[in-house]
């Protein structure tokens, strides 16, 4: 049998899987796509490798039940493969070119997307800035689109998160979402995720906290117990930087907003039962939150940090 280049075989496979109204069995696929081995395990393994490659490139090969001895057929749904005709006017095409030229990922994905839309060309303007690209980002963006739970290791612990947003602030990518074990909104720096990120089935985040973070998406009142009737509440001011400002404000309610600064950071005025409760909440945000006052509360937090640092190995 004449040897067929694998890239050519993959191209033919895409065309065959897009064609026709029904899924095709592996036997039918091998009859139409040159280059597959004779019937047997080698053919199955070659097809599984090709299918895995297509899925890694973002082409959804779906398996569906069919009649016949093989029982499973495969196809690519055209509506999930082809981009719709956007019917862009010339000024709209120019605006897209400017948007991609201004900022894009370190890889050429933005320009590739324009070419697929029939917009732009090799003489497009040079970018003004490039966003860092991380291996986990495509999967995280896909999980947001599919409203799917993601699982990863962070600070040595496994996390299951219903994603709400991906944000880029101050040179870093952040995932904002509901930690399903802790039942609270959390923020994770993407470059600090250890190992691969796993995505559950599409829709698995529905109703589990993966809703967009808005001013009303989290119950106000603060993630701490209220002070008892015979206990004087602790009132403190906390500076939260822009990357986590929306999440923090959503957790404590808009009524806690004391100041909004030009760089996007906010000062929150909080009433809590104890300094320990405040401290535990502030430290969830890592370096993005700072207790400003009053002086005795800030000093107590600083003292505790110094003790922790002194006891570290």
The residues near 100 (Cβ < 8 Å, ≥ 6 apart) are 110, 111, 113, 114, 120, 124, 127
Topology classification of domain 234-311? Alpha-Beta Plaits (3.30.70)
State phi, psi for 160 to the nearest 5 degrees: -120, 120
Predicted confidence (pLDDT) per residue in 155-201, tens digit: 889 999 999 888 776 567 888 888 888 877 788 888 889 888 999 98
Residues 105, 116: Cα–Cα separation, whole Å: 17
Residues 30, 19: Cα–Cα separation, whole Å: 14
15-26 residues labelled b (16+ CB within 10 A) or e (exposed): ebbeeeeebbbb
Give the mean model confidence (pLDDT) for residues 123-131: 49
Q: What is the pLDDT of residue 198?
A: 93
Q: What is the pLDDT of residue 133?
A: 64
Give the mean model confidence (pLDDT) for residues 54-83: 83
- Predicted confidence (pLDDT) at residue 111 exceeds the cutoff of 70: no
- Predicted confidence (pLDDT) at residue 224 exceeds the cutoff of 80: no
State phi, psi for 225 to the nearest 5 degrees: -70, 145
The residues near 167 (Cβ < 8 Å, ≥ 6 apart) are 173, 174, 176, 243
State phi, psi for 226 to the nearest 5 degrees: -70, 155
The helix or strand, by DSSP H or E, that contains position 175, with its residue range, turns out to be strand 172-179
User: Measured between alpha carbons, how far is residue 98 from residues 14, 102, 106, 109 in Å?
Assistant: 32, 6, 17, 15
More reliable by pLDDT, 31 or 210? 31
Q: Which DSSP state fits 188? A: E
By the 8 A CB rule, do 188 and 197 touch? no
The helix or strand, by DSSP H or E, that contains position 109, with its residue range, turns out to be helix 109-116
- As beta bridge partners, residue 172 has 169
**pTM of the predicted model over 0.85:** no
| Four-residue CA torsion sign, 255, 261, 266, 271 | negative
| Four-residue CA torsion sign, 51, 52, 54, 58 | positive
Domain boundaries, the chain: 6-81, 90-131, 137-199, 234-311
Specify the range with the lowest mean pLDDT, choosing from 32-36, 101-105, 142-146, 253-257: 101-105
Q: What is the pLDDT of residue 35?
A: 87
Distance of CA 212 to the CA centre of its chain: 12
Q: Which CATH number fits domain 6-81: 3.40.50.150, 1.10.10.10, 2.60.40.10, 3.40.50.2300?
A: 1.10.10.10
């Amino acid at each position: 049998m004449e040897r067929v280049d694998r890239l050519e075989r993959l191209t033919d496979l895409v065309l065959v899987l897009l064609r026709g109204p029904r899924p095709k069995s592996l036997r039918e696929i091998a009859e139409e796509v040159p280059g597959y081995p004779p019937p047997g395990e080698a053919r199955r393994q070659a097809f599984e490798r090709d299918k895995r490659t297509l899925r890694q490139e973002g082409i959804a090969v779906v398996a569906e039940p069919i009649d016949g001895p093989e029982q499973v057929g495969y196809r690519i749904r055209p509506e999930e493969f082809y981009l719709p005709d956007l019917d862009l006017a010339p000024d709209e095409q120019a605006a897209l070119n400017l948007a991609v030229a201004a900022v894009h990922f370190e890889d050429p994905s933005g320009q590739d997307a324009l070419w697929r839309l029939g917009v732009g060309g090799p003489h497009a303007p040079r970018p003004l800035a490039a966003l860092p690209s991380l291996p986990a980002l495509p999967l995280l963006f896909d999980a947001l689109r599919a409203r799917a739970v993601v699982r990863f290791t962070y600070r040595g612990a496994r996390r299951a998160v219903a994603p709400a947003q991906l944000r880029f602030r101050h040179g870093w990518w952040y995932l904002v979402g509901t930690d399903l074990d802790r039942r609270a909104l959390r923020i994770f720096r993407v470059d600090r995720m250890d190992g691969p990120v796993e995505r559950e089935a599409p829709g698995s985040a529905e109703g589990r906290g993966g809703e967009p973070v808005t001013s009303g998406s989290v119950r106000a009142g603060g993630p701490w117990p209220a002070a008892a009737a015979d206990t004087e509440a602790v009132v403190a001011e906390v500076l939260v930087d822009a990357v986590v400002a929306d999440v923090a404000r959503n957790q404590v309610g808009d009524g806690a907003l004391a100041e909004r600064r030009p760089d996007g950071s906010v000062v929150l005025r909080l009433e809590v039962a104890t300094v320990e409760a405040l401290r535990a909440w502030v430290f969830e945000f890592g370096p993005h939150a700072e207790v400003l006052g009053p002086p005795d509360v800030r000093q107590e937090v600083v003292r505790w940090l110094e003790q922790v640092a002194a006891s570290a190995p």
